[in-house]
């Protein structure tokens, strides 16, 4: 007799339930209401994650677990995604619950003391110690990597207000008076720029008085190269991106995190519209409708300036067709000076460099062909088109062509941005533009290209400073960040400062850089360096790191071994 089989699927198979929210921590209704109030009508797009994190940080002085969970819920993202981005950037203060104690109460105010080489030489360590000892417990004192004001060393940032040549009394006075916001710099605004003939070149381009081919040829004939460090020919880059299928985008790098460089900030604080006009001309020539400006978080006054002037441009445009400009705020990450890491950050992600190919010009921001430029490169465009390629190319010295903006800091009488002929030597730069060495100081060494550009001795003071002239000496010019050391300084100490910076700023993506910078810093902590092991580390970092941070990080150490061996005897110069 056949037996009837009764299915029991209902008892064996679990009932599938739809998830109502992303997996993770339960959302506190009060925190969700606070986040919703902050975001208001702003879009909840993924690429705005960092902007939204800034809103919370600015309002509550920290990023709590409850607010991060609420933001993840509001943006329909996993909490892990939000948390990994928030913890990647130095300027986000992420705190966790402390059990029954609740969340950590944020400090009323944060004071950051710059620890870059220029500031350290000017007494930043002593200032940090003084502030830590005497300031109220409600004020948090932290050391910070370079804040982009090396000519004003030592620098302390009280809240968002950078104090040049800072002292204990100045910082205390700023705290007592509540002077914690960066003031707007004195600059040439939109109306003044227009009165002086500004945007006439852009009008000529848009009206057909200037031909795209003519404009690009001027850039090519002038020899203008990318002035953020890589030095790729600007005109060639315009041609490459223009040849790609649209829509095309532009990303402008004003992260300027290289210790020793501050030229972009200096120009932006004085003549923002010269840069903006150059940017608009580039967008016209390449065929770009959307521009993303990535500005480092330390430049609070510059951000307010740009917001004001971009609004004036939008309300009273000089031409009938204007690209849309998006201003994005960095969050404290040196690695975002690398073009693909910057693009990742603009997209709301951790700033980790991409593998190449494909290149940014082909697959860049949001997967589109992207023209990526440094601020200063675009700043020169109007001048070049007015003066002509021959004028610019004729400005060089010692067989080089063009002009360079040298950010000079350290032991000179007149630190600052000095526009000088490309190919000038360090001795000529100091004597002719910087007022000579400080009294009682003699040139001992110099960094020709910031933290990653290496260290050269005073005996090599006759090398032309330009692209392609320093590689034979184990150095490069990069963004032309010149730090001058005197006979009161130590090249070993300078290398330690640089390597500490690199170890802190490595994004951690690749092992050669992540582990190599930390191991190198350990090996150079004393005066008896293991040169064979350091050489092996240098080779691995140069050959296997994904991006220029790990590839260039060994430069200061390699230069000390090559040029300053007298500091490495076994009795040593104590750190």
**Residue 252: strand, helix, or coil:** strand
In 3D space, the residue among 196, 201, 199, 131 whose CA is nearest the CA of residue 167 turns out to be 131
Over residues 290-328, the pLDDT tens digits come to 999 999 999 999 999 999 999 999 999 999 999 999 999
Q: Choose the weakest-confidence range: 3-7, 61-65, 201-205, 314-318.
A: 3-7
How far apart are alpha carbons 12 and 432 in whole angstroms? 87
Residue 133 has pLDDT above 80, yes or no: yes
* pLDDT for res 19: 58
| Average pLDDT rounded to a whole number, residues 124-129 | 97
What are the pLDDT digits (tens) for 157-166? 999 999 999 9
Least confident of 44-48, 175-179, 278-282, 414-418: 175-179
Q: What pLDDT was estimated at residue 572?
A: 38
pLDDT of residue 569: 61
Distance in angstroms (rounded) separating the CA atoms of residues 256 and 299: 10
| Statement: residue 101 has pLDDT above 90 | no
> Is 9's pLDDT higher than 80?
no
Strand partners, 251: 292, 372
**Which helix (H) or strand (E) covers residue 416, if one does?**
strand 416-421
Rounded to the nearest integer, the mean pLDDT of the chain is 93
Q: What whole-number distance in Å separates Cα of residue 269 and Cα of residue 276?
A: 13
- pLDDT at residue 570 tops 90: no
**Contacts of 154 by beta carbon, 8 Å cutoff, 6+ apart:** 113, 114, 119, 120, 122, 123, 124, 127, 165, 166
Q: What is the pLDDT confidence band of residue 1, given thresholds at 50, 70 and 90? A: very low
Q: Would the pTM count as exceeding 0.85? A: yes
Give the pLDDT confidence score for residue 448 in this predicted structure.
97
Per-residue confidence band for 229, with pLDDT thresholds at 50, 70 and 90 = confident
At residue 489, the pLDDT reads 97
Looking at residue 137, its pLDDT comes to: 82
- Helices and strands, counts by H and E, the chain: 24, 13
pLDDT of 99 strictly over 90: no
Q: What pLDDT is attached to residue 11?
A: 46
Which tokens is 522 given?
């350990």
pLDDT for 80 beyond 60: yes
pLDDT digits (tens, 9 = 90+) for 368-377: 999 999 999 9
């Amino acid at each position: 007799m056949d037996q009837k089989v009764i299915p029991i699927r209902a008892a064996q198979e679990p009932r599938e339930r739809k998830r109502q929210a992303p997996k993770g921590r339960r959302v506190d209704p009060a925190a969700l209401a606070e986040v919703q109030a902050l975001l208001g009508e702003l879009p909840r797009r993924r690429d705005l994650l960092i902007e939204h994190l800034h809103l919370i940080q600015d309002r509550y002085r920290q990023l709590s677990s409850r607010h991060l969970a609420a933001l993840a819920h509001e943006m329909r993202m996993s909490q892990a995604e939000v948390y990994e981005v928030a913890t990647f950037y130095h300027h986000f203060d992420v705190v966790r619950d402390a059990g029954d104690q609740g969340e950590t109460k944020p400090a009323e105010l944060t004071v950051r003391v710059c620890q870059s080489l220029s500031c350290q030489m000017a007494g930043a360590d002593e200032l940090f110690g003084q502030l830590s000892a005497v300031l109220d417990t409600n004020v948090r004192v932290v050391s910070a990597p370079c804040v982009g004001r090396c000519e004003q060393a030592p620098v302390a940032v009280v809240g968002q207000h950078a104090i040049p040549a800072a002292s204990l009394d100045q910082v205390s006075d700023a705290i007592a008076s509540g002077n914690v916001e960066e003031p707007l710099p004195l600059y040439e605004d939109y109306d003044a720029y227009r009165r002086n003939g500004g945007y006439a070149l852009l009008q000529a381009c848009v009206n057909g008085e200037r031909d795209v081919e003519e404009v690009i040829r001027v850039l090519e004939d002038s020899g203008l190269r990318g002035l953020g460090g890589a030095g790729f020919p600007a005109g060639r880059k315009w041609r490459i991106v223009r040849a790609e299928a649209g829509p095309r985008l532009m990303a402008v790098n004003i992260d300027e995190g290289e210790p020793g460089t501050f030229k972009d900030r200096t120009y932006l604080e004085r003549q923002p519209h010269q840069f903006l006009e150059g940017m608009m001309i580039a967008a016209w020539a390449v065929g770009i409708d959307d521009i993303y400006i990535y500005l480092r978080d330390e430049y609070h006054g510059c951000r307010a300036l740009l917001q004001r002037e971009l609004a004036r441009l939008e309300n009273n445009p000089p031409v009938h067709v204007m690209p849309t400009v998006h201003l994005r705020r960095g969050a404290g990450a040196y690695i975002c000076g690398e073009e693909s890491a910057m693009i990742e950050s603009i997209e709301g992600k951790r700033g980790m460099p991409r593998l190449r190919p494909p290149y940014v010009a082909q697959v860049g921001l949001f997967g589109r062909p992207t023209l990526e430029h440094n601020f200063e490169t675009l700043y020169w465009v109007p001048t070049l088109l007015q003066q002509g390629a021959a004028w610019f190319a004729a400005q060089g010295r010692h067989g080089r062509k063009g002009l360079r903006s040298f950010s000079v800091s350290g032991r000179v009488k007149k630190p600052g941005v000095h526009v000088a002929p490309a190919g000038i030597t360090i001795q000529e730069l100091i004597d002719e533009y910087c007022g000579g060495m400080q009294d009682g100081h003699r040139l001992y060494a110099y960094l020709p290209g910031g933290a990653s550009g290496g260290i050269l001795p005073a005996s090599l003071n006759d090398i032309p400073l330009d692209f392609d002239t320093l590689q034979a000496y184990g150095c490069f010019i990069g963004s032309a960040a010149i730090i001058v050391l005197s006979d009161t300084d130590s090249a070993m100490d300078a290398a330690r400062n640089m390597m500490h910076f690199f170890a802190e700023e490595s994004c951690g993506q690749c092992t050669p850089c992540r582990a190599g910078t930390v191991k190198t810093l350990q090996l150079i902590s004393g005066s008896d360096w293991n040169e064979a092991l350091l050489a092996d580390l240098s080779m691995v970092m140069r050959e296997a790191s994904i991006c220029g941070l790990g590839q260039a990080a060994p430069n200061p150490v390699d230069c000390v071994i090559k040029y300053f061996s007298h500091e490495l005897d076994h009795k040593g110069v104590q750190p």
